[in-house]
Amino acid sequence: MKRTIPFCRRPVIAIVQARMSSRRLKGKVLEDICGRPMLARIVERLSHSTLIDQIVVATSRDSSDEPIARWCAKEGVAIYRGELDDVLDRYYNASLTFGARTIVRITADCPLIDPEIVDTVVERFMDGMYDCAGTDSSYPDGLDTEVFTMLTLRRAWQHACWSSEREHVTPYIWKHPDRFRLLRISAPRRLGYLRWTVDEPRDLELVRKIYSSLEGKKKIFLMEDVLRLLEQRPELLKINSGIRRNEGYYRSLKEDRLVRSV
C-alpha cells in the first residue's frame, strides 16, 4: 500500500533523463546489461518504488535520440522529447506535460538505482515539506536521487542562466538555500568512494558483473546486496577505480568560467 502523500504534492513523477550522445560513452543508455538495455534496468528498478505514481523518460528531439524513442514506444514507457542540452527546460516541460506536482530526478546512467533509497528521499521530502531533497556524496556514486516540487522547478527554470545550471537541472536550487528549503540526506555510513554510475567502459564492465552475480537471487537486489557482494569479491572494486566523481558537472563549471572571463 502506498504511503499517504498530501494531495497538493501528487502526482509524484520520476523523470529519467536520457540521451544517446554522452561524451564519454556514446549510446550508453541502451547498452546491454545481462540481456536488457541499461534504460530498461533503471525503469524496472524504479517500478519497485512504492511512492512513485508514474515513470517518464525525458530525452531530446535530436535525431540521435530516435533509438530511445523507439525503445519507449516498444516497451510502453511514457516519454517526453525536448531540448538536447538545456535539460532543465526538458524537465520543466516534461513535468508540465504529465501534470507533475512532485518530481523525482533520476539520470539514465544509474542502473543500480535503489527504489528503497528513492522512497526514503521522497518520504523525508514529504515529511518536512521541503522544496528540494536529495542524497549527498556519502552514497555510492550512481544512487543519486533528487526530489523537488513543480514550483521549485519552475523557479529554477525561470532564473537559472549558466550552462551548468541548465544542463544539470538542480545546481541553481542547491546554490540558493536562502530561497529554497533544502534537505541533504546522508547514507548510514560513508560510501562515497564507491562508483556505481556508468560513464566509462570500465563502469559498464563492473555493473555487468554485479548484475550477473546478483540478478535472480531475489525479486530485486538493493544497495546492501551490492555491498555484500563487493565485500566477498573486493577485486571488483579495481575495475573502475580512479575515475573522478561528477566529472561532467565540473566540466560544465569550467565552461561557465570561460564564458565569464570573455
Domain layout of the chain by residue ranges: 8-256
Q: pLDDT at position 95, please?
A: 98
A 10 A CB-CB count for 197 gives 24
- Mean pLDDT across 194-198: 97
Is the Cβ–Cβ distance between 80 and 97 less than 8 Å?
yes
Read off φ and ψ for residue 133, nearest 5 degrees: -140, 150
pLDDT at 21 over 80: yes
Report the chain's mean pLDDT, rounded to a whole number.
93
Residue 86's Cα: distance from chain center in Å? 16
Architecture of domain 8-256 in CATH?
Alpha-Beta Complex (3.90)
CA distance 219 to 225: 12
pLDDT at 109 over 90: yes
Structure confidence at residue 261 as a pLDDT band (50, 70, 90) = very low
Cβ burial 99-138 (10 Å sphere, 16+ → b, else e): ebbbbbbbbbbbbbbbbebbbbbbbebbeeebbbbbbebe
- Specify the DSSP class assigned to residue 3: P
Q: Which cell goes with 80?
A: 517526453
CA distance 140 to 229: 14
pLDDT at 106 over 80: yes
Q: pLDDT at position 258, please?
A: 44
pLDDT at 247 over 80: no
CA distance 120 to 117: 5
β-bridge partners, 195: 141
By the 10 Å C-beta count (0-12 exposed, 13-18 middle, 19+ buried), 160 is classed as buried
Amino acid (one-letter) located at 153: L
Q: pLDDT at position 256, please?
A: 53
* pTM of the entire predicted model: 0.92
Structure confidence at residue 62 as a pLDDT band (50, 70, 90) = very high
Q: pLDDT at position 262, please?
A: 44
Structure confidence at residue 251 as a pLDDT band (50, 70, 90) = low
- Mean pLDDT across 195-217: 96
Structure confidence at residue 6 as a pLDDT band (50, 70, 90) = confident
Q: pLDDT at position 228, please?
A: 98
Per-residue model confidence as pLDDT tens digits over 22-47:
888 999 999 999 999 999 999 999 99
CA distance 241 to 203: 9
